[in-house]
Structure 1
Amino acid sequence: MPAGAAARRIDALVGAMTIEEKAGQLSCFNDDVRPVGAVFNPVVNASSADALLAQVRAGRVGMLFNGYGVAGARRLQSAALQSRLKIPLVLAADVIHGCRTIFPIPLAEAAAFDPDLSERAARAVAREATAGGLHWTFAPVVDVARDQRWGRVAEGAGEDVYLNRLLAVARVRGFQGPDLRRADAMLATPKHFAGYSAVRGGMEYAAVDMSEAELRETYLPPFADAFAAGAGATIASFTDFSGVPVTANRHLLTDMLRGELGFTGVCVSDYDADRELIAHGIAADEADAARLAILAGIDVSMQSGLYTAHLPGLVARGAVPIAAVDQAVRRVLALKESLGLFDDPYRSMDARVERRETRSPAIRRLARDVATRSIVLLKNTRDILPLPRAGTRIALIGPYATDRANLYGPWSFAGEQGAGVDLATGLRARLADPSSLVVEAGSGIHDAVPDGIARAVAAARGADVVLLAVGEAGDMSGEGNSRVAIDVPAAQRALAEAVAATGTPVVVLLRHGRALVLDGAIRDAAAILATWFLGEATGDAVADIVFGIAGPSGHLPVSFPLASGQQPWSYDHRSTGRPASDAAPLEGGRARWRDAPDRALYPFGHGLTYGRLALEGVMVGPTMAWDGELLVEGVVRNTGARDAVALVQLYIHDRVASRTRPVQQLKRFVRVAVPAGASRRFAMSLRRADLAFVTQDGSVRAEPGDFDLQLALNGPGSGLGASFALVEDRSAG
């Protein structure tokens, strides 16, 4: 909390405010003065621009969200400064993967395995967003996601705890920059606290049940690191958590968030989530819902209006202590103080900066670089890729060949519509003879089109290679878009079978916001590129990889399953008492499905390059001293004809522990650029803290004993093994 003059200012304001003004500071509403697109969530508590401005002037609004533009921001702030106490507004938005310039979805960016790149991307996005009159982003999503049926997998960093931790910190630092009071800094909001991604059946908004150990070991660490990096806000999960909805869950929001993690910032309900306590069945009515939320630790009510409608009455009859309201108000005012809004209420509202920063050449170049580095080469039979830029007849087939409506993916409502580069445009721009590319849709996203398959088959027969652009539409991932079957839609699968039957080699350009089940002709294609939702630079980035102008360097942050029924699944699952062997994965009486082994089609960490990479000369010390470190060294050799970037991944397994441990856990990775025909050394180190886990008594500690270590280039199971022992220091005491 602020000290000195800032603290005195906050105390004076709290002392001067009426309960109605306090409730207003604790309320966040849709920005109806400068809306930027369609409302995703159900319409509740609808307003108009004039009505909203009147409420702002009356001091009944603390913050607004999902608006954009300096002119409207200045109009709103001017209204706030006409209120009795002249408390400025803070303006927020769901800036998830770009504002006006759309970057790859966060899951795609995670495939780059590069925290520095993620930090630079968030910093660039913050500069553009603040140039348009924003102070606060409802990002990053730091929910560890192990169920690909859940639509919001697209918004986070995937299934691994360590990668989520690193990217949570990188994105917070990028959004907030070195000083939150700077005009180009955005307050970051790691969300959703906590366990949101573990919903039943992967279904959005469903219930969550898990052990305390699982919560602490898997889902809390990215939040803890994000808060330690300075994040000043969080959003509570929508869900029921072990029978108590998070919006009313004092154990999570007060005991754990503030007590254990030491969080001192602002906790916001998600959209209308306090009113939803009635539907959950734990609040009798709206007033009861408001009471439960604020007493649990929700500082700010988003969109429902329950705090403005009911806090005054709740306080008057003693159902809510005024001290609880004042504590939340102080946190909100401290947030505004941290952003410098009391000293400069018009910060981030300069029309000249808006013109300079919006869709600047620099941010568009970075968006393209991130897109290129997010692509993952899953398969490349007989090195069919890269394709030559001349002398090859190419058929680009699929509903995404010329499509621009599905480049951006979810949470891109502020993006410049029509600015994205489609696949056909990107490919033609790099061909020596653009007419050597023939384009056919073949099918719609979900439905067949008249003569579509016949035309596609004719194009395939006349080509040397087919680029098959299939996958998910932009509205099939993100919030509210859970799927029971995580496959490519049937109409596109039928198209793929018909095209493959021609015998022309097929390269799949997969569009998706999650790991998908691949089967039939798509799975059996000569090559497969995971191209996600890459944003506006899609066509350019994909073309650069297809033609070898850039080499693929991405790796999967999520495992591609063999079947939808495997979900939830992650590479770091725990073993069982009857594990199946690699040699006989379908042996009866073992942990397996009757019709599928317990493995992924493409595991977390998988990703090929155009080089030929191998690990050599791995050296690992036999022991790690209790307070020492273990040095892991080796060489990556590239025997291929093309330069490549290796992702050296270090996994561990604790052989014997007081609680069952994952079969593999990522603990380090390093990117190594290796020129063709050359080799490069690498080194990583581990300490005792890297081996710690939640033990039976609930404490977090490492236990002495033997550990297996694996170095891999394409996910666990693909590398070289070693072992070491953690040796307890028995001399102390």
Structure 2
Amino acid sequence: MGSLFGQSKKTIPQVEQLLDKMTLEEKIGQLNLLTPGGGIATGAVVSKNVESKIKAGQVGGLFGVAGPEKVRLAQEIAVNHTRLKIPLLIGSDVIHGYKTTYPIPLGLSSSWDMDLIEEAARMAATEATADGIMWNFSPMVDVTRDPRWGRIAEGAGEDPYLGAAIAQSMVKGYQGQDLSAPNTMLACVKHMALYGASEAGRDYHSVDMSKIKMFNQYLPPYKAAVDAGVASVMTSFNDIDGVPASGNKWLLTTLLRRQWGFDGFVVSDYTSVNEMVDHGLGNLQDVSKLALKAGLDMDMVGEGFLTTLQKSVEEGKITEAEITQACQRVLEAKYKAGLFDDPYRYLDSKRPEKEILTAENRALARKLATRSFVLLKNHYEILPLQKEAKIALIGPLADSRNNMLGTWAPTGNPDLAVTILEGFKNVAPYASIQYAKGANISDNADFAKKVNVFGPRIQVDERSPESMLKEALDIANNADVVVAVLGEATEMSGEAASRTDISIPKSQKKLINALVATGKPVAIILMSGRPLTISEELEMPVALLQVWHPGIEAGNAIADVVFGDYNPSGKLTATWPRNVGQIPIYHSSKITGRPAPEKFEKFTSNYLDVPNTPLFPFGFGLSYTAFEYSDLKLSKKEIAQGESIEVSVTIKNTGNFHGEEVVQLYLKDLVRSITPPNRQLKGFKKVFLKKGEQKTVTLTLVPNDLKFYNSTSEFVAEPGEFEVYLGTDSNCTLKKCFTLK
């Protein structure tokens, strides 16, 4: 845990000696991060004349370069053709797997399995480093409560406690115990800070938030990553207290370094320094100076540091010592990665074949996917299906290879993904399976064009919607059961993919209505990168299985769950609204002075048209079996400051399937100096129970679980009464009370 006033920092002699030899121009060069293109560019700029700039000592790192041979070429230029032979950092966005892609982070978080998440990050690091990459722009830990924001797909949802646990697991998985080991990589926590609270759910938009909300609800996952030893931090595009993150000294120096004790380096997001000009903070020289003085160490793609910092030194606007400090942090990261000992340590040409896309890695991706799925409804226990059934597999996503990997999978190859049709045939070879597309993902050609920026995600069929629907209904009428695969194309969520309408597109709604009207049992496989508004679909007599975008083993994993080889255990990590008018909606909101009763009353906090309650609460997820909770106990009724308290409950599997359950603990502080949230997640444990089996599960509330940041930003636990709730989701009702003296 970083101390309030920072940590004393040990210098690295090799770095100190190198800094003594460097010219001002060479120091500035180390602060410049470029991309030669070839990957997913998240801005309008792709770096030019990269090779000549490396030779001139004007580049500290690259991203968008992969493969031992290509990385070696770049590294040889830096090592053999510059005066001081300083190696390059090679970065990449390895968001949910490298070549072996696994579920999008929102899906992965739904597993609530920290060991499995750490294992996933470790596998991604092994593959990426085998391809010469030693720096990862992950984890993304932005808390978000607005599913209109497309980048909700990249994070862990709405809760700071769960988000903090996942952040730590991912940092540990990427970085391991030794950053210089050739199969570990520098992690980069992003986006510092508050990016998930963009106004109106619109990407890159402004953020305005009180310090109390910031510290209690949005900052904990970033701090958890810092406490786990994350090597780098990436700034966000938004402003904080009116100052953009990339130039915000309170954020990057006062909070991150002095209060939290962070001693790594800070990199901007893609051209975010340059974008401060459009924020209205001055010209490129002005904003580059502001960013450096704020505590930013590396400028991604924009080259404002490269082209203006020397002039700012000459004009006395910044000092060479400030540039030296930033350069030192970048060089220390290279030292920790082992690059000064061996610039080519990550460039073993034999590793890719042995360590990338292995059978073991694909098996893990399949396991991760099955653990991420959330059973939302199971009308008449339609699921699991019999493996000998006559099945009509229908929908625009049922055989769509391009939509399996999910958003932000720039290193994955969609051609290697398993479609759902293929997965069904693999897992249930004796089933009779007929397939029809049934509908387009969307019939709107203009919308499809926006979605298809990185390739064909929405393909508008040459056939008419009427002919596709007729084909689907003919198949459905001759089947025992209908499986409809619906939802979002890959790039309907993700960066720059905000939506004001987060319902299932009209083309697919028409399809599902017609399929249900056949009277056949219908199971909906719902694929998306965000919570959707599906009130109409929920009222239908259907089963609903939310599968997110599952990754390279999508089809096999979905079939594993649909046919009962694995009992779904995922739980939602973001509340699902009834409609967009409820947004933002989340489980830890505050109770007002006029709380709404169960029945409508005027002059209370409610809506005229829908209840306050969500469609699905945070933590929700069904199983093919049933779990019964009883006998909630506390180890003490009263505790002193600094003491822990144990909470135990008996859980029994009362159904007919073996299964896993996520036991969730919520805490309510009844009286305190600032208005408390309704409930806060403060513990969870995933347990496996055979049918008929009973276990006692114990969770521990530690002193920090009772603390919060008060109106003067002190982290305190105030004496008083607390309620403990324990059960299957955030609406659990088993309750006990204790007092903090």
Q: What TM-score range do you get, normalising by the shorter chain?
A: over 0.9
Alignment of 1:84-99 (within 5 A): 84-99=83-98
Letter in 1 for 2:439: S
CA contact (8 A) 1:443 1:495 kept: yes
Give distance in 1, aligned partners of 2:612 and 2:320: 55
SS in 1 for 2:556: helix
Residue 458 (1) aligns with residue 448 (2): no
**Which of residues 515, 525, 547 is equivalent to 1:509?**
525
Change in CA separation of 1:717 and 1:519 when aligned onto 2, cut-off 3 Å = closer
- Residues 487-518 of structure 1 show CA distances to partners (whole Å, capped at 9, x for unaligned) of 11111111111111112121110001111110
Identity %: 39
Partner of 2:560: 544
SS in 2 for 1:148: coil
Partner of 1:663: 678
**RMSD between superposed Cα atoms in Å:** 1.5
Q: CA deviation at 1:44?
A: 1.6
Partner of 1:631: 646
- Residues 154-192 of structure 1 show CA distances to partners (whole Å, capped at 9, x for unaligned) of 111111111101000000000001100100111011111
Partner of 2:664: 649
Give distance in 2, aligned partners of 1:280 and 1:523: 45
**Which of residues 416, 419, 422 is equivalent to 1:422?**
419
Give distance in 2, aligned partners of 1:416 and 1:291: 40
Letter in 2 for 1:317: E
SS in 2 for 1:618: strand
Partner of 1:166: 165
Alignment of 1:76-225 (within 5 A): 76-82=74-80, 83-225=82-224
CA contact (8 A) 2:31 2:60 kept: yes
Partner of 2:602: 588
Q: CA deviation at 1:432?
A: 4.5
Change in CA separation of 1:476 and 1:40 when aligned onto 2, cut-off 3 Å = farther
Alignment of 1:67-466 (within 5 A): 67-82=65-80, 83-283=82-282, 285-390=283-388, 392-434=389-431, 436-447=432-443, 449-466=465-482
Give distance in 1, aligned partners of 2:651 and 2:42: 49
Q: CA deviation at 1:523?
A: 4.8
Partner of 1:598: 612
Letter in 2 for 1:256: L
Structure 2's unaligned 5+ residue stretches are: 1-6, 444-463
Give distance in 2, aligned partners of 1:522 and 1:459: 24
Give distance in 1, aligned partners of 2:601 and 2:622: 30
Partner of 1:43: 44
Letter in 1 for 2:441: I
- Residues 591-641 of structure 1 show CA distances to partners (whole Å, capped at 9, x for unaligned) of 112211111111111111111210122212322333322221121111211
Residue 572 (1) aligns with residue 580 (2): no
Partner of 2:452: none
Partner of 1:700: 715
Residue 27 (1) aligns with residue 68 (2): no
After TM superposition, the score normalised by the length of structure 1 is 0.95
Partner of 2:574: 558
Q: CA deviation at 1:145?
A: 1.1
Give distance in 2, aligned partners of 1:115 and 1:10: 36
Q: CA deviation at 1:313?
A: 1.1
| Deviating more after overlay: 213-222 vs 137-146 | 213-222
Change in CA separation of 1:166 and 1:650 when aligned onto 2, cut-off 3 Å = same
Give distance in 2, aligned partners of 1:630 and 1:455: 61
CA contact (8 A) 2:34 2:47 kept: no
SS in 1 for 2:504: coil
Change in CA separation of 1:45 and 1:555 when aligned onto 2, cut-off 3 Å = closer
Partner of 1:724: 738
| Deviating more after overlay: 225-234 vs 285-294 | 285-294
CA contact (8 A) 2:382 2:522 kept: no
- Residues 519-577 of structure 1 show CA distances to partners (whole Å, capped at 9, x for unaligned) of 32355242111100100111111101011011101111111111111111111111101
CA contact (8 A) 1:268 1:298 kept: yes
CA contact (8 A) 1:45 1:304 kept: no
Letter in 1 for 2:621: G
CA contact (8 A) 1:493 1:522 kept: no
CA contact (8 A) 1:389 1:431 kept: yes
Q: CA deviation at 1:2?
A: 11
SS in 1 for 2:414: coil
| Deviating more after overlay: 266-275 vs 408-417 | 408-417
Change in CA separation of 1:76 and 1:40 when aligned onto 2, cut-off 3 Å = closer
CA contact (8 A) 1:57 1:81 kept: no
CA contact (8 A) 2:631 2:650 kept: yes
- Residues 675-707 of structure 1 show CA distances to partners (whole Å, capped at 9, x for unaligned) of 111211111111332111112232111111111
After TM superposition, the score normalised by the length of structure 2 is 0.94
Change in CA separation of 1:31 and 1:126 when aligned onto 2, cut-off 3 Å = farther
CA contact (8 A) 2:101 2:552 kept: yes
Residue 676 (1) aligns with residue 673 (2): no
SS in 1 for 2:350: helix
Q: CA deviation at 1:450?
A: 4.6
Partner of 1:468: 484
SS in 1 for 2:415: coil
SS in 1 for 2:648: strand
| Deviating more after overlay: 626-635 vs 472-481 | 626-635
Change in CA separation of 1:31 and 1:357 when aligned onto 2, cut-off 3 Å = farther
